[in-house]
């Protein structure tokens, strides 16, 4: 069973705003420290930003307006905790405690991701899609069920009927749709609104990429301040033991992937697949 939501879902709008702020932080500084939380809905966008970089309200408002449309803005900016900031003062280290998984994308996940994107490119409005053992459920705002039925005749479409969707129907919050973004690799922590020193971002991205390249599942663990990450390769019912990898190398690989797809905002649109 897998669920995907599209980039216009309120939770993804929140993720995209957070990602765009991280993108801007990297334009201000090659090594920013930033953690953004966004809550959006019913005409107001609330943002708390713990950051090493200063953002003007006009910069933030421009991001919100571009992604979510004109609405009220409640923006609060704070410096990172002094003790947490010291963790990175003498080199790149894990910015959080965590356990992580990198899992090969299943056929079901790949199929639903394709369906979600196909529908989104036509309607470009809030949508949610579920696939469970061949049963497809499509909830697409601003669309008549009959139109979609022509392409997906066996799907259950808009069970409650026509709906408009968006942030005036539902609120959105950062990292609330990690199942959609990460599939079966969901563990603790959030994928969006954070710089690459945060293990939640770098290790999750790195392990996902590694799992697809090697067609094998992986898991990893780290503690805040670690320079090395413990990784375990899992193939079938057996495991091949543990090995260590420098966190700095993981960050470098994660950055290559994020740069390749177009940045943190682009990562937030669909997640890892």
Residue 218 near residue 234 (C-beta atoms within 8 A): yes
Place of tokens 């375990």: 232
Q: What is the mean pLDDT of residues 248-261?
A: 97
For the beta sheet containing 44-51, the strands, ordered from the edge strand earlier in sequence to the opposite edge, are: 72-78, 44-51, 34-41, 172-173
Pair 15, 268: CB distance under 8 Å: yes
pLDDT tops 90 at residue 131: yes
Per-residue model confidence as pLDDT tens digits over 67-80: 999 999 999 999 98
Axis crossing angle, helix 10-28 with helix 57-68, rounded to the nearest 10: 140
Summarised one tens digit per residue, pLDDT across range 90-114 is 889 998 899 999 999 999 999 999 9
Mean pLDDT of the chain: 95
Predicted confidence (pLDDT) per residue in 215-235, tens digit: 999 999 999 999 999 999 988
Name all domains of the chain by residue range, CATH numbers in brackets: 2-6+107-157 (no CATH), 10-86 (3.30.300.10), 98-105+178-268 (no CATH)
Quote the DSSP letter at residue 52: S
Q: Are strands 72-78 and 44-51 parallel, antiparallel or unpaired?
A: parallel
pTM of structure: 0.96
Contact predicate 231/216, CB 8 Å: no
pLDDT tens digit sequence for 21-52: 999 999 999 999 999 999 999 999 999 999 99
The C-alpha atoms of residue 90 and residue 100 are separated, in whole angstroms, by 25
- Model pLDDT, residue 36: 98
Give CA torsion, residues 228, 273, 136, 147, to 10 deg.
Answer: 160
Predicted pLDDT of residue 82: 82
Residue 119: other Cβ atoms inside 10 A = 21
End-to-end CA distance of the chain: 15
């Amino acid at each position: 069973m897998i669920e995907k939501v599209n980039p216009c879902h309120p939770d993804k709008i929140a993720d995209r705003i957070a990602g765009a702020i991280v993108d801007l932080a990297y334009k201000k500084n090659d090594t920013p420290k930033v953690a953004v939380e966004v809550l959006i809905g019913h005409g107001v966008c609330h943002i708390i930003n713990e950051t090493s970089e200063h953002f003007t309200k006009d910069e933030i408002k421009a991001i919100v307006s571009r992604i979510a449309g004109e609405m009220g803005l409640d923006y609060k900016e704070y410096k990172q905790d002094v003790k947490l900031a010291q963790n990175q003062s003498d080199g790149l280290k894990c910015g959080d405690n965590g356990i992580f998984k990198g899992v090969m994308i299943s056929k079901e996940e790949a199929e639903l991701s394709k369906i979600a994107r196909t529908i989104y490119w036509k309607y470009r409005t809030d949508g949610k899609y579920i696939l469970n053992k061949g049963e497809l459920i499509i909830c697409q705002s601003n669309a008549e069920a009959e139109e979609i039925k022509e392409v997906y005749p066996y799907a259950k479409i808009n069970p409650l009927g026509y709906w408009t969707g968006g942030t005036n129907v539902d609120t959105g919050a950062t990292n609330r749709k990690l199942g959609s973004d990460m599939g079966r690799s969901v563990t603790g922590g959030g994928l969006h609104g954070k710089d690459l020193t945060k293990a939640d971002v770098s290790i999750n991205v790195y392990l996902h990429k590694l799992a697809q390249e090697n067609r094998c599942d992986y898991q990893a663990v780290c503690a805040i301040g670690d320079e090395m990450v413990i990784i375990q390769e899992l193939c079938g019912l057996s495991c091949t033991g543990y090995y260590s990898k420098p966190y700095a190398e993981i960050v470098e690989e994660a950055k290559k992937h994020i740069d390749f797809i177009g940045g943190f905002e682009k990562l937030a649109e669909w997640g890892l697949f």
